Amino acid sequence: MTAHRRISFDNIQNNLSTTMLGRDLYVLDEVTSTFDACEKIGVCHGTVVCAKRQTDGTGRLGRSWESNEGGIYFSLILEPSRYGFDIQLYTLICALGVQRAISEHTACMIKWPNDIVSPDGRKLCGILTKIKLFDSKAGFINVGIGINANNKSFSDDLKYAGSLCDFLGREVDENRLLCSVLSEIEKVLCLSPDSLVKEFAEVCVTVGSRVKIVPAEGEKYAGNAKGISKDGSLMVEKDDGSLVCVNSGEVSVRGIYGENYV
């Protein structure tokens, strides 16, 4: 891989066009996870902690995120008191920022609420949002983002993983892509909540799909995803005709890979 395309502190700084995001920057070789790394650093609004590898990258609901060399792994710290968004919209904000940035290279959509996928359903990026409470209010949000930029291979069990470089047939400049993601997230943060939800729904592959909702507890059920509600929930019409709002924290949504639920 060409050295200047690899994540480096100097190259990120040289390409950064944001006002706040990424101006407080840490670039590390290997971490357990960028979440863990943030615990050891005095973070503030806009801090970005980036690593070349994670040995214990985390996904949602206790899952793991494979984080080999070639991917872009970073935590972005946001202070929600600066904006007028519901806390649960921050995952959507960052997903839209990443989707916009990756779309400059290749077609992609958002799998609600937190993954960026290629048109053939390969997962190119995962996003995990953790909230840090202070005095029972959300003090900081730590958004962990893993982008499969130049990853050469994945474990056999990751049958839906895909790498940007495979779609492009060439390597991606990891520094430029990271900077473009930060710049797009900064722009999305300036949208109104209504505009955010509208644009998100337009590029969300889940909307309009047949989905199966798999709650952490309780019965699974199938339905048709109708849209995204103001608070970022997925609106699902169940087969009995009732409409439910599915909260992102509670469920896994399956369906875009063509599984048959009927």
Q: Which residues bind ligand ATP (CB under 6 A)?
A: 59-60, 63, 65-66, 114-115, 123, 126, 146, 148, 158, 161, 252
**CB nearer ligand ATP, residue 20 or residue 59:** 59
In whole angstroms, the minimum distance from the beta carbon of 128 to ligand ATP comes to 6
Q: Residue 83 or residue 160: which is nearer to ligand ATP going by CB? A: 160
Distance CA 177, CA 175 (A): 5
Residues in contact with 242: Cβ distance below 8 Å, sequence separation at least 6, in sequence order: none
Residue 216 CB, shortest distance to ligand ATP, in Å, is: 11
Rounded CA separation 147/129 (Å): 15
Residue with tokens 């960052």: 94
Q: Which is nearer to ligand ATP, 16 or 185 (CB)?
A: 185
223 contacts 244 by C-beta, under 8 angstroms: yes
Q: What is the DSSP letter of 230?
A: T
Least distance between ligand ATP and beta carbon 160 (Å): 6
Neighbours of 44 (CB within 10 A): 12
Residue nearest to ligand ATP (CB): 59
Mark 93-119 as b/e (b = at least 16 C-beta within 10 Å): bbbbbbbbbbeebeebbbbbbbbbbbe
Of residues 44 and 61, the one with the C-beta less far from ligand ATP: 61
Smallest gap from Cβ 39 to ligand ATP, in A, equals 20
Q: How far is the CB of 60 from ligand ATP (least distance, A)?
A: 3
Q: Which is nearer to ligand ATP, 46 or 146 (CB)?
A: 146
Q: In sequence order, what are the residues at sequence separation of 6 or more whose Cβ sits closer than 8 angstroms to the Cβ of residue 200?
A: 92, 95, 96, 110, 228, 232
* Residue 16 or 211 with smaller CB distance to ligand ATP: 211
Shortest CB 76 distance to ligand ATP, Å: 16
In the complex, the smallest distance separating the C-beta of residue 71 from ligand ATP, rounded to whole angstroms, is: 6
Q: Which is nearer to ligand ATP, 59 or 193 (CB)?
A: 59
> What is the Cα–Cα distance from 148 to 128, expressed in whole angstroms?
15
**Residues 77 and 43: beta-carbon distance below 8 Å:** yes
Strand order in the sheet with 221-228: 243-246, 234-238, 221-228, 210-215, 251-254
